[in-house]
Every structure is written in C-alpha cells, then in structure tokens.
Structure 1
C-alpha cells in the first residue's frame, strides 16, 4: 500500500482510532486497517455494470435513536442478523443504501471483526456542503464516515469534515474549500458593494448595515456557483466555467480570447442572477431583527421556512441548473463578474504556451509548488493560457472524474487550487 508525500496510511488509521477511542467496543488499529482495505477493494467492483458507490459509517447501533428520520434526524434500519463486512457485501448493499441518501452502518463484534448491522437513512441535506443548498444539515454525526466514491477513490470523514483521501496509489490530507479563499472575496468585492448600493435607497430594510448586506450577497453568490459545479460533477460530463470582468471589459475579454458558438444577447434576461440575488437579500432583510449581523442573517437565510424565500430559492436553483446544462455543450460557459451569461460553447484561442503553473497549498495561494501541465487535459491547459494573458479571469474546471480546480492569476503567476469534494 503506497503513501503520498503529505499523508500516510498509518497516520489516517491512527486518526480514526483516536476518534473512536472513547466508544465502548471500539475497533483496534488492525481492525480499522482491515475495514479500509475492504472498502478500497469494494470500490474496484461493479454492480450490474456500474461502479460501486457507497457511504459507510463506523458507529455502534446504540448511537442512533429508534424513532427519528430525515430531514432533521436519522432513520436507523437495524438488521435482525448482522452480516460480515466484505467487499462483495458492500457491492450488494450499495443500491439499497443510495450514496446520496443513506449509509451502511458497521461496527466490530468481539472477535468476529466488523459486521454490517444496518442502514441509516440520512437524507440528502449533507450534500449542501458542496451543492450550495440552503437548508441546514440536520443531525450532527460524530462518527467516521468513509465514502467509496469511484474506482480506486475512497474519502475519509469525521462526520462531514474531510480528513483524507485515498486515490489510486496515493494518500493525501484534505484538499481546500476554494470558496473560502480570499481571492474570491476580493475579486468580487466591488461588484457586490455596487449591487447593494443600488438597493439601499428605500429598497432594503434598515435591519442591517450595507456591509452586512454585501457580505450576505457574497455568501449566497458562492452557494450559487457551488450548485453549478456540483450539478456538472454529478452529470459525469465535466466542463469549464469562466468568470470574466464585467461590462465592456468583459466583452473585450470574450471577444479577444474566446470564440463562443452561442453568444447571449445583452438584454435584461442576462440580469436574472443579479435580480434574484437582490430579491433574496431584500427578503432576508425583511425577516431579520434590527441590528442583524452577517452571521445572524446567514442563519436566517439557511433556516427560515418563509414561503417567499423558498420560492426565490427554487428560482435560484433552476437558474443554476440552466447554467450547468449550458456546460454540457463542448466548450466553456462564460459569465461576467455579475454572473450574467456572456455565452457558452466557448473555445479559448490563446496562442501562448504555459509549461508550468503553481499548485496552491493554502487558500491564499502564498504556499505554491510547481506543477507540470503536460499531464493535464485540454480543458485545464486552455484555461491556464487564458489566465496567463487575462489576470482578472477566474476559471473552474471540472474533470470527467469529478475533480475540481479553480484557476487564477496571482501576482502574474497562474496557479490552481484543488477543491475539496464529497
């Protein structure tokens, strides 16, 4: 079993063991090693021609109530007879324990090793971490969950927090959530301030300061982009999303470097994202108490059962789905910095070789290691070239194998961030 340079299998096993150390009947280090091997083996199998995909939780039966269920709780279906944990058993159970809605529950039984004792129906809200959904996650899970994601790809979580990945012959620690990066915050700061200023005169309730409204707009915008990317990832198609400078400068970038087979007319339809976002922050302001902070407003946005907010959320989701569908066409989807459609089916035509880029090891892009681009695909290399000549462009590239990179120009150097995934 090989290890990567920045993470090791023994370190992962030790972390899992420590997480379970205070639980009665906790597995030994050797048992944890065995369960990891079994789940990796299951990832290499096929169920009726499809890759095995499953989530497996390491937790005892008594950890879950008997009368709860989604969306806020967990529905535990306990087997009357436990089953041995094997790769084939995970394969057989994977259709019943849908990856997006349920987990297979396992726990050691004395000297018999890990046994499958049931299925937990969690519901899909946990996907909001990457899909940008508004509703909260529901019940917190404080046990390790292992995702059998794709052939040779296993991810290890403490509840819903990524600990490590095992991919092919390498281990590494968690990737970054690029949506927490300072670059995204700073690049769009001016745009969201202008958006709020347009509404401040009599249109926005005085329950929040303008800065709180601007920060809320930023958080909601990130949720929207998350949804687009997740929808493309789950389609299995892959694609590229380019965000170019807005207004006249944005048109110049698209005209100079990108041939869009389908260009959007510059009419009011292109402002739909902006108008929906303004409606959402206005409604949150109406639902908020006086002096509301950004954090409090965000919780209201996520937890409110307000019918108008639900309607706006549905419209927001459908717009994200439209954008993801546009990315199914060969070529890039091009948006301006207000997330209006410039065009899609975009072909980047930058006649410039970029042989090396930087791989960011932190969110700020200060700690970077050199990356040779020869092993990357056409999508990645074309976005590298565009960012090398247009420093204000931000690109997201989703591979067919579901990996996500954010690409940008920082201090005249092209770098990318490998985004954390579920």
Structure 2
C-alpha cells in the first residue's frame, strides 16, 4: 500500500506521523522516544563497523506483532532475544552485519520502564526491493509499522511500511523525491515503440484476452522493471555510471557516431534484439495466462503473481540481460542503447563541444515546476549528458552517482532538465 504523504516535511512532522501510526498500541513509544530513535540512528550512521559504513534497517514494532511460524517470502521471520539490548548507536553498529540491509531489520520497541530496547531481528527477505529494483514477485504481506533505513553516513530514509515518506541527509530534511519511472515523459517518448512491438506479432500470436492497447501498456510496465533493475544494480555496485537512450535504429547509430566515441561498439545484428524478443515472449505468455476481457491491471497482477514455469524462465532470462547491461556500465564511460534497448556501444565518451552552464531541476513529474540549477555543482558524468541532451532533444539519460543518487536527464521544451529519482 502507498504511504500517506508527509503533511509537514520536518523531523517533527515525521515524528507526529509515526506516532499516529503506532498510537493504537497501548505501550507505543512516545513522541520523545521516536525522536530518540531518529537521533540514535543518525549517530549510528556516522560510525564504522570494521572499516565499513553502518548500513541497516530498523523497524518500530512490538514483539507480539509477528507470528512464530511466519517467514519470507510472504511473511516475516522474527528472532526474539532472551534479553533485549538497550538501543544505542554502538549497539546498532554491532548488530548491523547480522541484520543484512536487503534481507532483515533490527526490531525496536519500548520495554516498560527500561526505555527503548532492541528486542530482536526480523528476516523480511529481499522482495521489498522490487519496488525500486524491478522484479516480478509480489512484496508479500503489508507491514503497518515505520521502518528507518540507515543508508549512508548522515543519511536516513523514513518509510511507512514499504512506502518512502521522508529523507534526512546532512542538514536537510525533506519529503521523498520522485519516482521518475512514473513520468509522462518516459511514457510518451516510448509510446510509438511499444505499439510497434505489439504490431509485429503475426495474426493469432497474441490471444485476445487483452486488446492491443493493453498489451502495449503492459509492455511499457515490464520495460520499466528492466531499466529499474539495471540502475539498481549499478547503484549497489558503488561504481556509478551513465545510461543514454538514443533514437531507434539507424537514427540512433548516426547520433552515436556524431556525438559519442564508444570504446566498444556492438554489431547491429539479431543478437542485439534480445530484449525485444524476450519482452514479446513475456507479454504473449501473460496474455495466455489472463482470462477473457482482462484489463491492464489484471495482466499486471498475473505478471507479478503467477507461478507459471514458463514465465519464471522468461523472467530469469530477462533480468539476467539487465545484469549484463549493468556490467557494461562498470566500464568508464556511458552505456549507449537505442529506444528498443539494443546496445549500440559502451565505454562511451560524449564529445559535444558545447557549454551548458544552467539546467532546470524539475520538482514534479510533469516538469511544470522547475528551478534553475548551476551545473558547476555536478560532476563530469552529469555535465556530459547535459551537453548531449542540449544538442539531441530526443535523448534521455540516466546518471548514477557513486553516492547512489540517480537523475533522469532530458530536454523539456527548449531547456535541459533533470529529475532527482527516489532511491532506497
């Protein structure tokens, strides 16, 4: 379930929202205790555990909230300590390796007159990452408790269940950034290609459980999962990288030849169409598994929840291809692909001889609220993609920083604009 928006983008507003979420429990933490949790976790984020930054997730939930027999992938497996530990920054640091960031959380709750205590570790499994990393499997049961991510030094992210509601980084406290994959720009720029993908099927290949427009929209939703997976794999590698989408076919190759020197260029052969062929196979199989007169929402539910062996096999192939793409981004330079997700080359050096001093920062998905941004605040990856978008308005770029921030960059009207993407 999506989280309720944070009504006041301040730490005090967050504390009030978390307290409202927990106040139905007779022994719930007070507002002061919730603030103590936030302060303690911020302090923990600045520590090192055997030379590594502390990275973990912490849930505010009572020990009796989880059934003894539950566990991933659909439930939560609770390991309760016989003697709860006092909540301190050092205790969080010591426990963080046992509560793997992507698989488990540290559980915290008040213990009568003893104050806040760490009462156990909860194994959630990694499916929650599907929200940002792409993936077909459903998340499992909803978690109606606050979760705080200790992400990096001085960086906390606050969740209501699995919905991000606020971030605290350095001196800044603000609401969540945008999920750029929900933007109209992405949908509109690729609309003709997904309709073309559906039209390529021979008559009778797509069963009429969905109409052509629904098949096209399903292709769009699944394609976004693929790109999310690429970007998340690069983010979690700690390397950073750039991904640029050029026009499809010969136009894209000509654009690359004009503006980008790829150290490694790919042959424009049938092997380059693997993404497209896998996507067609997936939407065809989902159509076969749908009932008559299904909607896009019905088809998406089938895609996410079906245990069909053929769909499982296609998913494995699909996301292995995403990993292959992300590995190419480990080489210095941009991964250059066209809008059909055919690889043009990688290790790409963008060589646009044009200065771009100001770009726009969009504060909403449609780009109706834009402020001016001085590009001198950014690194070489960002500035290179800004220059490319300034001369090729059809290009869309994604830049992943080494500190895990993600931006989508494109021309909007006559101006180069970026969107800061929500990350975990």
Task: Normalising by structure 1, report the TM-score.
Answer: 0.98
Structure 2 gap segments, 5+ residues each: 1-7
Task: Give the secondary structure class of the aligned counterpart of 2:69.
Answer: coil
Match of 1:178 in 2: 180
Would you say the 8 A contact 1:192–1:217 is kept in 2? yes
1:21 to partner: Cα distance? 2.1
Match among 94, 117, 136 for residue 119 of structure 2: 117
1:206 to partner: Cα distance? 1.3
Match of 2:289 in 1: 287
The more displaced of 352-361 and 395-404 is 352-361
Separation in 2, partners of 1:386, 1:63: 52
Task: Give the secondary structure class of the aligned counterpart of 1:25.
Answer: coil
Task: Give the secondary structure class of the aligned counterpart of 2:164.
Answer: strand
Separation in 2, partners of 1:174, 1:230: 17
Separation in 1, partners of 2:58, 2:108: 7
Measured against aligned partners, the alpha-carbon deviations of 1:60-90 in whole angstroms (never above 9, x if no partner) come to 1111111110011110111111110000000
Task: Give the secondary structure class of the aligned counterpart of 2:73.
Answer: coil
Separation in 2, partners of 1:172, 1:387: 29
Match of 1:3 in 2: none
Would you say the 8 A contact 1:206–1:290 is kept in 2? yes
Is residue 2:423 matched to residue 1:421? yes
Task: Give the secondary structure class of the aligned counterpart of 2:200.
Answer: helix
Match of 2:146 in 1: 144
1:200 to partner: Cα distance? 5.2
Is residue 2:388 matched to residue 1:386? yes
Separation in 2, partners of 1:258, 1:132: 29
Q: CA RMSD in A?
A: 0.9
1:171 to partner: Cα distance? 0.8
Is residue 2:288 matched to residue 1:257? no
1:29 to partner: Cα distance? 1.4
Task: Give the secondary structure class of the aligned counterpart of 2:25.
Answer: coil
Match among 17, 20, 42 for residue 19 of structure 2: 17
Separation in 2, partners of 1:111, 1:257: 67
Match among 313, 316, 341 for residue 314 of structure 1: 316
Match among 229, 247, 266 for residue 227 of structure 1: 229
1:296 to partner: Cα distance? 0.2
Separation in 2, partners of 1:200, 1:417: 39
Match of 1:202 in 2: 204
Would you say the 8 A contact 1:241–1:397 is kept in 2? yes
Task: Give the secondary structure class of the aligned counterpart of 1:163.
Answer: strand
Structure 1 gap segments, 5+ residues each: 1-5
Match of 1:89 in 2: 91
Separation in 1, partners of 2:415, 2:14: 34
Match of 1:68 in 2: 70
Measured against aligned partners, the alpha-carbon deviations of 1:233-255 in whole angstroms (never above 9, x if no partner) come to 01000000000111121112101
Match among 52, 56, 59 for residue 57 of structure 1: 59
Would you say the 8 A contact 1:216–1:281 is kept in 2? yes
Would you say the 8 A contact 1:155–1:164 is kept in 2? yes
Match among 232, 236, 239 for residue 237 of structure 1: 239
Separation in 1, partners of 2:22, 2:51: 35
Is residue 2:273 matched to residue 1:271? yes
Match of 2:44 in 1: 42
Is residue 2:346 matched to residue 1:344? yes
Measured against aligned partners, the alpha-carbon deviations of 1:366-401 in whole angstroms (never above 9, x if no partner) come to 111111111101000110111111111000000001
Separation in 2, partners of 1:38, 1:22: 24
Would you say the 8 A contact 1:108–1:114 is kept in 2? yes
1:292-307 pair list within 5 angstroms: 292-307=294-309
Separation in 2, partners of 1:264, 1:312: 24
Task: Give the secondary structure class of the aligned counterpart of 2:57.
Answer: strand
Q: Any runs of at least 4 consecutive aligned residues in structure 1 with deviations exceeding 4 A, and if so which?
A: none
Would you say the 8 A contact 1:52–1:150 is kept in 2? yes
Separation in 2, partners of 1:382, 1:392: 16
Separation in 1, partners of 2:52, 2:92: 13
Separation in 1, partners of 2:97, 2:199: 50
Task: Give the secondary structure class of the aligned counterpart of 1:90.
Answer: helix
Separation in 1, partners of 2:112, 2:413: 58
Task: Give the secondary structure class of the aligned counterpart of 1:199.
Answer: coil
